[in-house]
Structure 1
Amino acid sequence: MSRGRNPLEHTLAARKKAANRYYSGPPSDHFDGTLFFNPGGQMPGRFTDLLKWQFNGQRAKWPATSPSPFPQARPAAKVEGTDLTVTMVGHSTLLIQTAGLNILTDPVWSQRTSPFSFAGPKRVNAPGIVFDDLPPIDLVLVSHNHYDHLDLATLKRLKEKHDPLVVTPLGNDVLIGEAVAGMRLSAHDWGDRIDIADRAAIHIEPAHHWSARGARDRRMALWAGFVIETPGGKLYFAGDTGFHDGINYRLMADKHGGFRFAILPIGAYEPRWFMAPQHQNPREAVQGMKLCKAAFAAGCHWGTFHLTDEPMDEPVRKLAEALDAEGLPRERFRALQPGEVWDVPEIERG
């Protein structure tokens, strides 16, 4: 049964009284009545682990700027029918165009992914689409509330210019709704399905991750991936996720039967002792592509914001090595760069 909801049903006063400021509901296999968790998985690291990582002295140096080799794209107003065009904006922000719909994943146009405008990870390359060159945006998918995925400044701009529907996991609607007046929000639990204008359906699916905007709201809002069901085939945006022994990838294959296209994170994975539960590496991403039975995949979550220890270009090299080791053509899984446009081939249907 769907547990989607309208955030207006939950008053600010009631939330302040609750232990969880973003969500209240019955316990489930991933919600203990107060906080969300990964079933059979791992909790995020402790504060002492964070300090140990931050002071390990192993952080690779990134360039202050690293312009994309691709010019900023100027997308078509629409892509109709079963055609599928995907344009990389940067990090986990991609524009998906198919069936007359324009969909953004985790949109971030801000210069920093931080609660502060003057500090925190800063873009090393410009967005692959100038904001004013976006086509009319119908739908936004927000996977969770970390600053490099939920950017309130960008959502405000999208509301003002496009008024899209934002689909997000439970609890994130409250955070967004309080900051962006009048934003159309649809918040859902894992396993829910939302029909979009008789042209697509969105499935909210598990990811192995966590959530927080500060020190006192850890795991109060849910995290998720999304499956987009379209006339041209199923698309999978895994959100931000650890590999978790491939459990969720196998679940996606069992439930959905495979995918025409997947968007999978390949960066922000070092050091493994700290990052493995929440960020998969390129080798794991290739395994995930195989396990979920994706014909094609785009690598995201790399090369725009310096978040972790690995060198900026390492995810691309490691992805190529992993594909070669599996005997997979490199053109099936591309590490997209800002401005890069991919007209994804159709696949034969059995």
Structure 2
Amino acid sequence: MTRRRLITAASAATVMTLGGVGYAAHRRSANPYYRGPISDHFDGVRFHAPEQPPDKNFSDLARWRMTAKTEPWPASAPSPFPADIPPERVDGLRVVLIGHASYLFQVAGRNILVDPVFAKRASPVRFAGPKRVNPPGIAYEKLPPIDVVLITHNHYDHLDGPTMARLWQEHQPLIVAPLGNDAILRGYDETMNVETRDWGESVDLGGGTTVHLTPANHWSARGLNDRRMALWCAFVLTTPRGVHYHVGDTGLGQGTIFRDIRARFGPPRLATLPIGAYEPRWFMQPQHMNPADAVEALRLLDAEQALGHHWGTFKLTDEGIERPAEALTAALGAAGLRQEVFLPLRPGQVWEG
């Protein structure tokens, strides 16, 4: 089988999805999303993380697809938690997993969506790509008034363009995203107002809450020729209810990004961390933590509580649907930590603190 046929065979789950697992060509071209000054993480065309590994190529993807030992997922895996109906406002801190990496954070009277994906597939097309195996943990129609939407990066399992256009039309939220993602979002609604920021910059969300954009060990792409042309990030929310650190996608790397968060903001009250889409490790390790990595991140952060996401809704990689939760249990035990300090959330599951 030729390389091109190998790529075509894998396109629904890898190349087209680009949900942190796919291949994107590295042809140098003008950046269609962002033009700005060269910096320590932008070369004038592409962004890069402090510990950016070499980009994967056709040979790497072909090797993965030819040697994959993938565990099958069920066609349907409903959450044991009923769909949540959130209150209109919360004075404290209330967190609900919508599914995969999509959350509703309610804190100090503000309603904040992060990476809202309500689509049936994490894909640029409706007929192919990873299909969700459980419904959203909050039905779209049951959302409270949305004040803010935060976008960590542009992969299709994190940036759902049609959902973002609908949210904008119906809620007019403040939208905050890393550099370059405004151009992508306005492709779905040209009237959309997006506040873009670089790593190290912040936006006041009102009500005593500020969001800070921080680095993550990841990458971005929406197609074959735009790899790393829009920035990606993690978020720190400083709120009247404490510090909340949220990572959409990242590799552990040398742990530097987590040490830096603790040094700058102190130990977080809450850390929401990815625990899934990690096999095979030789391919995924630079960009996706496994549960053992996530437990190490928790240790480096010295966070009071952690919640795990990025698992159990879209099959993006080789591990079975329950493997992340099982591996998290084992990793916590090996670290001598109580199981309740790091919960693998399921759609509709609520955490309050």
The normalised TM-score by structure 1 is 0.91
> In the alignment, which of 30, 44, 69 is matched to residue 19 of structure 1?
30
Deviation at 1:198, TM superposition (A): 4.2
- The answer on whether the counterparts of 1:228 and 1:235 sit within 8 Å (CA) in structure 2 is yes
The CA distance in 2 between the partners of 1:242 and 1:201, in whole Å, is 25
Q: 2:215 — aligned with what?
A: 206
Q: Contact 1:238/1:265 (CA < 8 Å) preserved in 2? A: yes
| Selected match of 1:259 from 251, 262, 268 | 268
Q: Cα deviations across residues 263-294 of structure 1 (Å, max 9, x unaligned)?
A: 10000000000000110100000110111121
Deviations 1:145-167 (A, max 9, x none): 00000110110121122111111
SS of residue paired to 1:87: strand
Q: Does 1:74 align with 2:82?
A: no
Structure 1 residue aligned with 2:308: 299
| Counterpart selection for 1:226 from 235, 238, 263 | 235
Is the contact made by 1:106 and 1:141 (CA closer than 8 Å) also made in structure 2? yes
Judge conservation of contact 1:125–1:304 (CA < 8 Å) in 2. Answer: yes
Taking the aligned partners of 1:117 and 1:101, their CA distance within structure 2 comes to 33
CA contact (8 A) 1:37 1:43 kept: no
8 Å CA contact retained: 2:110, 2:207: no
Look up the SS of the partner of 1:179 in the other structure. coil
1:103 match: secondary structure: strand
Q: Which residue of 1 aligns with 2:296?
A: 287
- CA shift digits 1:170-198 (9 cap, x unpaired): 00111101222322210010000111124
Q: What residue is the counterpart of 1:343 in the other structure?
A: 352
Give the conservation status (yes or no) of the 8 Å contact 2:291–2:331. Answer: yes
Selected match of 1:277 from 273, 286, 296: 286
Question: Is it true that 1:215 corresponds to 2:224 in the alignment?
Answer: yes
Give me the whole-angstrom Cα distance separating, in 2, the residues matched to 1:175 and 1:159.
14
Q: Does 1:165 align with 2:152?
A: no
Q: In the alignment, residue 278 of structure 2 is paired with which amino acid?
A: Y
TM-score after normalising by structure 2: 0.90
Partner-residue secondary structure (3-state), 2:185 = helix
Which residue does the alignment assign to 1:326?
A: 335
Output aligned runs, 1:141-156, within 5 Å.
Answer: 141-156=150-165
SS state at 2:55 partner: coil
Distance of 1:130 and 1:30 partners within structure 2: 38
- Across the aligned residues of Structure 1 and Structure 2, the Cα RMSD in angstroms comes to 1.0
Q: Deviations over 1:314-349 (max 9, x none)?
A: 0001001111111111111100000111112xxxxx
Q: Which runs of 4+ in 1 moved over 4 A?
A: none
Q: For 1:126, which of 128, 135, 142 is the aligned residue?
A: 135
8 Å Cα contact 2:109/2:207 also seen in 1:
no
Unaligned runs of 5+ in 2: 1-28
Partner of 1:40: 51
Q: Where do 5+ consecutive residues of structure 1 fail to align?
A: 1-17, 345-350
How many residue pairs match? The answer is: 325
User: Percent identity between the aligned chains?
Assistant: 51
